[in-house]
Structure 1
Amino acid sequence: MTDTPINLDSLRQRIDELDSEILRLISARAECAKQVAEVKTASDPGAVFYRPEREAQVLRRIMELNPGPLNSEEMARLFREIMSACLALEQPTKVAYLGPEGTFTQQAALKHFGASAVSMPMAAIDEVFREVEAGAVNYGVVPVENSTEGVVSHTLDSFMDSSIHICGEVVLRIHHHLLVADTTLRDKVSRIYSHPQSLAQCRKWLDAHYPRAERVPVSSNAEAAKMIKGEWHSAAIAGDMAAKLYGLEKIAEKIEDRPDNSTRFLIIGSQHVPMSGEDKTSIVVAMRNQPGALHDLLEPFHRHQIDLTRLETRPSRTGVWNYVFFIDFKGHVDEPRVAAVLEEVRLRASELKVLGSYPVGVL
């Protein structure tokens, strides 16, 4: 320690110097990104610019090298935005998401792709799939499961007849707020709009605070936020983005029943994603309707010590009382032991479809 007092002006001067150096380095990185685009385009006019496995590797490396005092996740978010802006110099990434504007799905898209991506709202999950399949956008973002209310069935069903691959995942911490417009009479609220899952995630809070209010399910939380602008007796349950976008006020914050309420979203695209070093694979399997079918399905995973992270059952469209299994597990299809397990499962199943191997969510 030194006895010399710290001079505020000298600290500000040091910050200015550091800012100049940061600016120089970001500009150098952006210039390098432009050169990468030129090299890729010269060798392959149809080159893919966004590489999920490469981005995951970079962000993991940043988090490992981070010396503080900013925490590793915050540092990774800063680099995500730098990478997003640099990628936009190479080729703007078009991303479809379940809209309208202000949904948690849009928030997940921004978290995963950064603010420089071109995000496009869709009215339904199957529209997101169609836009990606048609090539109108590079990627789509759809919700797949919530920690409180479970699986989003519409998303799983959309994979059944689709050729789309899962290219990534993002987990978003979900905070719900009770929102009102400037015209709302707060003591007269008799109707509350929100998405059905959000209403379910806030059930206990609503029972305690608004037991007599009508709960009206709508297509999205953002749609709920839009609807109350013209109704003096209504409120909406939605998140921060919807509140800011539609100019609403929070009269109660974080009203979700579970403090760990989170939603997992999938990034869907048309490409195969190479190994990143820490990956997950999703498959859908139809088993023959016979005793021990579930055991036959799971036994190879146990024998090869592959960690299952999720198992969901959905009714099959091919027959009454037949089911298909959606399975997530750690590993990549290009790993020999994973390939061996999938080959065993393929021989035992009536149908096996690999939905994709992709990096485990970094942020």
Structure 2
Amino acid sequence: MAERAGKPPSKKKPADKSANKAGKNGASPAGNPEKLQEVRAQIDGIDRQIQELITQRATWASKVRAAKGELRAAVEYYRPERESQILRRVLDRNQGPLSNEVLLRLFREIMSACLAQQEPLKVGFLGPEGTFSQQALHKHFGHSARSLPLASIEEVFQEIESGNADFGVVPVENSGQGTIQSTLDMFLTSKLKICGEVELRVHQHLLSRTGRLEDIERVYSHPQSLAQCKAWLRANLPHAEKIAVSSNAEAARRARIADDAAAIAGETAGHVYGLKVLAGPIEDRQDNTTRFLVIGREFFTPSGHDRTSLLVFVRDQPGALYSVLSPFAKHGVSMNRIESRPAHSGRWQYVFFIDVSGHVEDENVAKAMSELGEFASDVVVLGSYPVALL
């Protein structure tokens, strides 16, 4: 048959040899119903094995409780240093295809569920529901822990001190905006200890009820989030009023009742409060990360990859800070962070918050601390705890 005028002769496409080869070797079962059924049967069998192994793990976790005896509450069974060791071994064994982050999340949830068989941990966080603090809580404790939304960082400390919460999760610093001073100040009077840390990659989104940028006359958010997005706000909402509130979730709660308001918060808050995403991520720094502290009532033993936080009161004399820091250098202890704050014990008196690598029971850390000498009027160990994994 002659080709239709105005159209080039049709050409038969060459066969895809790689696809044919894959089919013959069984690498692509989509075109072979019998092969696909066989693959699905293998997956079903693996699923049964996984479920059986999880059941065994939960059973052995119950035997750990029995071996320890009848303790008072779930917090008595929780060992963050042990969990850190388990999760580091998971990372060491990982050969793909799942990422380290995915495997950590899976194993964290398994451990969380096993621990919560009889009674879940009660963990306070800066609420309400949908804050980055709650995301950090889930990352560290898993979703089987009972999360307790609280109105302020101070209230998180109070609920742990009173025994109403076992642990708490509070923000302490941001990679772009620096330290959250209200958290550090709480350690000046509180007897609570730092039991762990969480690093959370923070993505900020602009959320509103209508989903129209032209409607927005005011923007609610936590002061840190407003600062993290100031360049974007200046370029896109220069005339909108910026209103600081206690948390990003509180901002979302306010934005949901007004068509001319928006909130800067995470996507989770948008889901919780039924808001639409106008833009995001809108943070000015691509590496925007917040570090959170896990606080509790006791110290824990070394995990092998630890950090120690200290509160050091320095005497007011020449060379005092240098003399305090020198022993750490002498004994090969790396200093991760130092921050000064008013000591609240007298005018122009300051205290230093210092983070160093290692556990207070490590020989080199113990030797360094014993040599702080007369230049430090007081040294308080706020905690030795496992370094955040990811």
Q: Give 1:354's aligned residue.
A: 381
The CA deviation at 1:192 is 0.6
SS at match of 1:305: coil
Where do 1:4-83 residues align within 5 Å? 4-5=25-26, 6=29, 7-42=35-70, 44=71, 48-83=76-111
Q: How many angstroms apart in 2 are the aligned matches of 1:275 and 1:11?
A: 44
Q: Given residue 71 of structure 1, which amino acid in structure 2 is its aligned partner? A: S
The CA deviation at 1:260 is 0.2
Mark the CA change 1:335 to 1:134 in structure 2 (over 3 Å): closer, same or farther: same
Q: Does 1:100 align with 2:119?
A: no
Residues matched between the structures, number: 361
Aligned CA-pair RMSD: 1.5
The CA deviation at 1:38 is 1.8
The CA deviation at 1:347 is 3.9
Q: Does 1:252 align with 2:279?
A: yes
Q: Given residue 281 of structure 1, which amino acid in structure 2 is its aligned partner? A: T
**Greater mean alpha carbon deviation, residues 284-293 or residues 168-177:** 284-293
Residues 171, 262 of structure 1: 8 Å contact kept: yes
Q: How many angstroms apart in 2 are the aligned matches of 1:37 and 1:240?
A: 38
SS at match of 1:265: strand
TM-score (structure 2 length as normaliser)? 0.90
Q: Give 2:9's aligned residue.
A: none
Structure 1 unpaired stretches of 5+? none
Identity %: 51
Residues 330, 368 of structure 2: 8 Å contact kept: no
Residues 166, 296 of structure 2: 8 Å contact kept: yes
SS at match of 2:117: helix
Q: Given residue 207 of structure 2, which amino acid in structure 1 is its aligned partner? A: L
Q: Does 1:152 align with 2:158?
A: no
SS at match of 1:136: coil
SS at match of 1:111: helix
Deviation track 1:205-259 (CA, whole Å, cap 9, x = no partner) reads 0011111111111111000000011111111100021011001111101100000
Q: Give 2:355's aligned residue.
A: 328
Structure 2 unpaired stretches of 5+? 1-20, 30-34
Deviation track 1:49-78 (CA, whole Å, cap 9, x = no partner) reads 110000000000011011211012211110
Residues 125, 142 of structure 1: 8 Å contact kept: yes
SS at match of 1:89: coil
Q: Given residue 301 of structure 2, which amino acid in structure 1 is its aligned partner? A: P
Q: Given residue 94 of structure 1, which amino acid in structure 2 is its aligned partner? A: K
Q: Given residue 217 of structure 1, which amino acid in structure 2 is its aligned partner? A: A
Q: How many angstroms apart in 2 are the aligned matches of 1:346 and 1:292?
A: 12
Q: Give 1:306's aligned residue.
A: 333
Deviation track 1:270-298 (CA, whole Å, cap 9, x = no partner) reads 11110000000000111011111121111
Q: Give 2:206's aligned residue.
A: 178
The CA deviation at 1:348 is 2.6
Question: Which of 278, 282, 292 in structure 1 is aligned with 2:305?
Answer: 278
Residues 37, 90 of structure 1: 8 Å contact kept: no
Higher gyration radius (CA): 2
Deviation track 1:302-325 (CA, whole Å, cap 9, x = no partner) reads 111110111001012122222110
Q: How many angstroms apart in 1 are the aligned matches of 2:72 and 2:378?
A: 36
Higher RCO, 1 or 2 (CA under 8 Å, sep at least 6)?
A: 1
Q: Give 1:132's aligned residue.
A: 160
Deviation track 1:70-124 (CA, whole Å, cap 9, x = no partner) reads 0122111100000000000153111011111111001100110000000001111
SS at match of 2:76: coil
Q: Does 1:122 align with 2:159?
A: no
Mark the CA change 1:310 to 1:107 in structure 2 (over 3 Å): closer, same or farther: same
| Displaced runs of 4 or more, over 2 A | 1-6, 44-47
Residues 332, 364 of structure 2: 8 Å contact kept: no
Q: Given residue 48 of structure 1, which amino acid in structure 2 is its aligned partner? A: E
Q: How many angstroms apart in 2 are the aligned matches of 1:206 and 1:326?
A: 33
